[in-house]
Amino acid sequence: MGEWRRVFGNPRRLAALGLIVLLSAVFFVVERMDYFGRDSISVLLDGERYYAGLTARLRGQSPEDIGQFLADEEQLLNDYSNYLFAAANGVDPTESMSASPEEVEAAAREHVYLSALKDMDDAAAHRRIDVAASRVQELRDEAKHIAGYADYLDNIQAQAERQAQTALFGKENSFTRRNLARTAEEFAALRGVKVEFGANRAFEGWIDYELADYLYLLVIVIFLFAFLEEREAGLWGVIRTCRGGRLPLGLQRAGILFCAAVLGTVLIYGVDLLCSLVLSGGWDDMGRSAQSLLELRTMTRRVTIGQWIVEYLLVKAASGFAVGLFLWCLLDVIFNVQFSLAVLLVPVAVEYSLFTFLPVQSILNPLKYINLFSYIRTSVLYTQYLNMDLLGWPVGVRQLALTGLPVLTILFFAWAMLLQHRRHPAEDRDILSAAAGAWDRWADRVRKHFTAGGWEIYKTMVFQWGLLILIVIFLTSGNQNYIRYSTGVDRDPDYEEYLEDIQGPLDGSLEDYFASARANAGGDGKLLSALDRVEAHVAEVRARAEAGGYEPWIVASQWYYESIYGENSRDLQRMNASAAIVFLILCCSGSWAFEQQSGVVLMVRSLRRGRGSVFAGKLLSAGLMTAFVWAMVYVREFLVFVRLFRTAELAAPVGNFDTMAGFPLNITMGQYLFLLYFLRFMMLYLLAMVILFVSRQVPTVELSLIFNFVLLGLPGVLFALGIDIFGFLSPVIPVSSAELLWGLRDRDVSCLVPWLIWLVIGAAAGCLTWRDWCEGRRE
């Protein structure tokens, strides 16, 4: 039992497992959110309660009745949204509503979900209506699926018969013809299967949740790395000389790997499913046929949802075991554990590329489906019906993968046991070491020209995985959202068109323009009303500019500015700032901790340039990382902005923007944005100083990441998700900076406080780290 206890009793491994399960559940819930922002959790819960209420009410009804009810519900949501907008903006709602305001108000009062919205502010109520509309749409799709499933099956048969008679679909013995016949035959078995309405959201969200598959893989890898620990500790030879150190140990480890696969399946997928059922309901819907789920409509076996879940979890555990055995074999081939990550990453990347990029019907498609990722993204086997061309015969990809699973498991198991038995640790015939040696011979020619600062950057990028982290950030930060269009803004196209005509500096009289525009408008009341508004706006801009002492300017595309930098986008600004903070933690946490972990501090500090120069190198490296994170998060935002906004208007004095009217500095919008982006960079760099300070206090990179994340990252994320108390503890607001600049419009000097606090914290952290490294003597 020693090996079992060593692997399963390791607190760090268990903590990592717990953290992965927690992350999986958290991201699962986050993925269910339609909206990210201050009240995102309550919006989600309200929406899920609404969904559960609707499914409970509609369960057992005919598809037609369900469809009708949902159409009415959708209309009511739409009417109530228009009603609220009209009430908030003082406009006439009758044009955009299907019933009178009184009727809509009365219906909303009786409605369980809508009645709760009347005490909320306009934006919060609209968010909830949007979410409800999205849930209704899901249920309408489901109702359509239920109503049309029999026709769908008939269509497959009819299509097969029709195509079989067409020469275009090949000869009698061709793959195409056989495929048609097989498809028809398999789907024929589903005829008469009873599809029923129910709470599908819980199951479909769970099936679609891709991240769980990769986190599950991570669990397997964590347990595999436990098998390499003796190599890292230099004990490989010792273990192998023990009586039970070869095959018996290999068998024990295979057992451990199997248990890890089962444990990972139960904890990750089980917890996610539990979260899903708690959120959306569906406990009573597991007795329905699996085909009742839209995602499983192409599954050609008659099972209930509950049976399918059990089968799916068993396949998951078996797949995890097989994948684990395969990766274990790969890891066992290497002698040098330094290459273990590369050994895993390269084949996994190749398999992922084949799985993702090979076309569905390709001559190489066995490589796509007999693939590591078929066993990692197992849900694809159930949600896609596909027959593969195997020497002219159609073979179901799911059947092939599932039949192949025990065969592959036995093969990998035998290979793993052979390696366990036959490996000779002292042989040192390692191809990877030889390849790395050849690379290092070449690289040393370049590296010997590095300066001390260059070495610091190299250490950050290569030894601390900085380059890999930057690539990941580059790939993931592209998904960030920067625009929050105002849903409650009535955009008058006539008004906007007139503004576009006169946009630019107001350097002359517009009387001729207005006279001609009025003449052209004739008696059109809408156009004349828009012109009145434009004239009033021009007068206001002129008056404001005169009072402020700057050039008056008509900015036509203010709406885009508001959508990205305005108060409407406050939540997005905070989310993006918290993402930047997390990225920076990943990039900079290794800094000093790496020196401590390498055990070189005494030696480096005793060198002539081992203090100031090394410290300067760390600052330079942190600066580069900060610049990259800043560019990934904020330059992208600016690029989004300039795509929408007329760049000529960057020269407009900032006071001409309606929402920036009180801004105390007489600068242009371009200068304002420069100030905003400069402040963000500065705050991120000061934050990097705090991260470096924490990094200097801990002995390992791992601990530095944990401490920095707990101290800086987590409060930021929690604040961005709407838990206000963390606003005081996190640097999100100063990093975002936008809302602090809004404070200046109202001459509110208290908005300077968060900047000042973090300025002091960052500067103090930088000074303390400098003192500690350059002057301190505590090693």
Partner 1 sequence: MELKLTNVQKRYGQLLALRNFSVTFERGIYGILGANGAGKTTMMNLITDNIKRDGGSITFDGREILEMGSEFRGLLGYMPQQQGIYANMTTESFVTYIGRLKGLKGKKLAAGVDEVLELANLNGMRHKKTGLLSGGMKQRVLLAQALLGDPKVLILDEPTAGLDPKERVRIRAFIKELAEDRIVLLATHIVSDIESIADQVMLIKNGKLLRMAPPDELIAALPKDWEPVAHHLSLEDVYLYYLGE
Distance CA 339, CA 361 (A): 36
Distance CA 396, CA 377 (A): 17
Shorter beta-carbon distance to partner 1: residue 78 or 433: 433
Token pair 């929408």 in the structure block, residue: 644
CB of 705 to partner 1, least distance (A): 18
Q: What is the DSSP string of 498-542?
A: HHHHH-EE--S--HHHHHHHHHHHTT-HHHHHHHHHHHHHHHHHH
CB of 431 to partner 1, least distance (A): 14
Long-range contacts at 607-613 (CB < 8 A, ≥ 24 apart): 609/452, 611/773, 611/774, 612/774, 613/452, 613/453
CB of 176 to partner 1, least distance (A): 54
- Three-class secondary structure of residue 248 per DSSP: helix
Shorter beta-carbon distance to partner 1: residue 436 or 744: 436
CB of 433 to partner 1, least distance (A): 7
Shorter beta-carbon distance to partner 1: residue 450 or 678: 450
Residue type, 9: G
CB of 307 to partner 1, least distance (A): 51
Shorter beta-carbon distance to partner 1: residue 228 or 418: 228
Distance CA 241, CA 261 (A): 29
Which residues have a Cβ under 8 Å from the Cβ of 716 and sit 6 or more positions away? Answer: 577, 578, 581, 582, 726, 730, 731, 732
Shorter beta-carbon distance to partner 1: residue 614 or 718: 614
Neighbours of 448 (CB within 10 A): 7
Shorter beta-carbon distance to partner 1: residue 167 or 446: 446
Neighbours of 78 (CB within 10 A): 16
Distance CA 551, CA 668 (A): 10
CB of 458 to partner 1, least distance (A): 9
Shorter beta-carbon distance to partner 1: residue 123 or 616: 616
CB of 463 to partner 1, least distance (A): 5
Shorter beta-carbon distance to partner 1: residue 55 or 464: 464
Shorter beta-carbon distance to partner 1: residue 428 or 511: 428
DSSP annotation of 126 reads: H
Shorter beta-carbon distance to partner 1: residue 4 or 450: 450
Token pair 């092939």 in the structure block, residue: 400
CB of 419 to partner 1, least distance (A): 21
Distance CA 141, CA 611 (A): 66
CB of 603 to partner 1, least distance (A): 5
CB of 776 to partner 1, least distance (A): 8
CB of 592 to partner 1, least distance (A): 14
Name the nearest CA neighbour of 752 among 733, 766, 765. 733
Q: What is the DSSP string of 466-487?
A: HHHHHHHHHHHGGG-------T
Contact call for residues 335 and 424 (beta carbons, < 8 A):
no
Output the furthest CA–CA distance in the chain (Å, rounded). Answer: 102
| H or E element, residue 396 | strand 393-396
CB of 584 to partner 1, least distance (A): 23
Shorter beta-carbon distance to partner 1: residue 440 or 524: 440
- Three-class secondary structure of residue 653 per DSSP: strand
Shorter beta-carbon distance to partner 1: residue 199 or 331: 331
Shorter beta-carbon distance to partner 1: residue 99 or 616: 616
CB of 473 to partner 1, least distance (A): 22
Q: What angle do CA 629, 356, 153 make, to 5 degrees?
A: 130
Q: Which residues bind partner 1 (CB under 8 A)?
A: 336, 338, 433, 436-437, 440-441, 443-444, 447-448, 450-452, 455, 459, 462-463, 598-614, 776-779
DSSP annotation of 189 reads: T
Q: 501: exposed, middle or buried (C-beta count within 10 Å: 0-12, 13-18, 19+)? A: middle
Contact call for residues 622 and 616 (beta carbons, < 8 A):
no
CB of 379 to partner 1, least distance (A): 39
Distance CA 89, CA 693 (A): 51
Contact call for residues 272 and 206 (beta carbons, < 8 A):
yes
Shorter beta-carbon distance to partner 1: residue 166 or 598: 598
DSSP annotation of 392 reads: T
Distance CA 97, CA 92 (A): 10
CB of 339 to partner 1, least distance (A): 10
Shorter beta-carbon distance to partner 1: residue 59 or 611: 611
Shorter beta-carbon distance to partner 1: residue 171 or 608: 608
CB of 777 to partner 1, least distance (A): 4
Distance CA 116, CA 119 (A): 7
Up-side HSE of residue 223: CA atoms within 13 Å toward CB? 33
The alpha carbon of residue 452 and the mean position of all alpha carbons in its chain are separated, in whole angstroms, by 37
Q: What is the 3-state secondary structure (H, E, C) of 559-626?
A: HHHHHHHCHHHHHHHHHHHHHHHHHHHHHHCHHHHHHHHHCCHHHHHCCCCCCHHHHHHHHHHHHHHH
